[in-house]
Amino acid sequence: MSLSENQHKFSRLFLITDQALSNRPLLEVVSDACRAGVSLVQLREKTLDGKSLYALASALRGITLMYGARLFINDRLDVALAVNADGVVLPETSFPVQVVKHINPMLLVGRSVHDLDGAIDAQRCGADFLIVGHIFKTASKPKQPPRGLGFLNDISTHIHIPIFAVGGITPANARQCVQNGAFGVAAISSLMQSADISETVRAFQDAIAFVNTA
Partner 1 sequence: MKRLISGLCVITDTAVQQRFSHVQLAELSMQGGADIVQLRGKALSTKDLFASAVGIRALSLAYGTVFIVNDRADIALASNADGVHLGQTDLPIAAARKILGNDKLIGATASTIDDALKAEQDGADYIGFGHIFSTTSKEKLTPPTGVAMLRDVLQAVKIPVMAIGGINQKNIESVWQTGVQSVAVISAVASAETPKAATAQLKKILTPL
Interface with partner 1 (CB under 8 A): 49-52, 54, 75-79, 81-83, 92-96, 99-100, 103
CB of 112 to partner 1, least distance (A): 13
CB of 99 to partner 1, least distance (A): 5
Q: Are 193 and 18 in contact (CB under 8 A)?
A: no
Q: Are 123 and 159 in contact (CB under 8 A)?
A: yes
Q: Which is nearer to partner 1, 50 or 150 (CB)?
A: 50
Q: Which is nearer to partner 1, 22 or 94 (CB)?
A: 94
Count the residues in the chain.
214
Q: Which is nearer to partner 1, 98 or 213 (CB)?
A: 98
CB of 83 to partner 1, least distance (A): 8
CB of 67 to partner 1, least distance (A): 23
Q: Which is nearer to partner 1, 5 or 49 (CB)?
A: 49
Q: Which is nearer to partner 1, 64 or 205 (CB)?
A: 64
CA 35 to chain centre: 18
Q: Are 169 and 141 in contact (CB under 8 A)?
A: no
- What span, in angstroms and rounded, lies between the C-alpha atoms of 107 and 77? 10
CB of 109 to partner 1, least distance (A): 13
Q: Which is nearer to partner 1, 91 or 146 (CB)?
A: 91
Q: Which helix (H) or strand (E) holds 106?
A: none
List all residues 6 or more positions away from 1 whose beta carbon is below 8 Å from its beta carbon.
Answer: 213, 214
- What span, in angstroms and rounded, lies between the C-alpha atoms of 169 and 171? 7
List all residues 6 or more positions away from 69 whose beta carbon is below 8 Å from its beta carbon.
Answer: 34, 38, 39, 40, 41, 63
CB of 124 to partner 1, least distance (A): 17
